[in-house]
């Protein structure tokens, strides 16, 4: 399954989020396709494959202390 998560940084947590995006803890069954910092909102996006929603959630939880995530299931055309 392909997922896209958008992040809005919590004020004062930008440096921590940048570090986490550069050095994420990636489970063996998650494959990151793209990690991008954006100008404007959202602040970051990450596109990744995970076998199911629970695995995607567990992966994204590592970022929630410094950003607010919004995750969508992506469907390639």
The CATH number of the domain where 15 resides is what?
Answer: 3.30.70.920
- Cβ proximity of 20 and 65 under 8 Å: no
pLDDT in tens, 28-40: 999 999 999 999 8
Length of the chain: 77
What pLDDT score does 76 carry?
A: 80
Read off the pLDDT of residues 42-66 as tens digits, 9 standing for 90 and up: 999 999 999 999 999 999 999 999 9
Q: What is the pTM of this model?
A: 0.91
**Does residue 77 register a pLDDT over 90?**
no
Q: Cα separation of 74 and 56, whole Å?
A: 12
The domain total for the chain is 1
Which stretches does DSSP call E strand in the chain? 2-9, 31-37, 44-49, 67-74
- What is the overall mean pLDDT for the chain? 95
Range of the domain at 61: 2-74
């Amino acid at each position: 399954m392909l997922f896209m998560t958008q992040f809005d940084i919590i004020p004062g947590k930008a440096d921590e989020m940048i570090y986490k995006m550069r050095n994420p803890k990636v489970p063996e069954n998650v494959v990151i396709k793209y990690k991008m910092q954006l100008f404007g909102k959202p602040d970051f996006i990450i596109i990744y494959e995970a076998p199911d929603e629970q695995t995607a959630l567990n992966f994204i939880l590592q970022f929630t202390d410094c950003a607010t995530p919004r995750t969508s299931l992506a469907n390639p055309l």
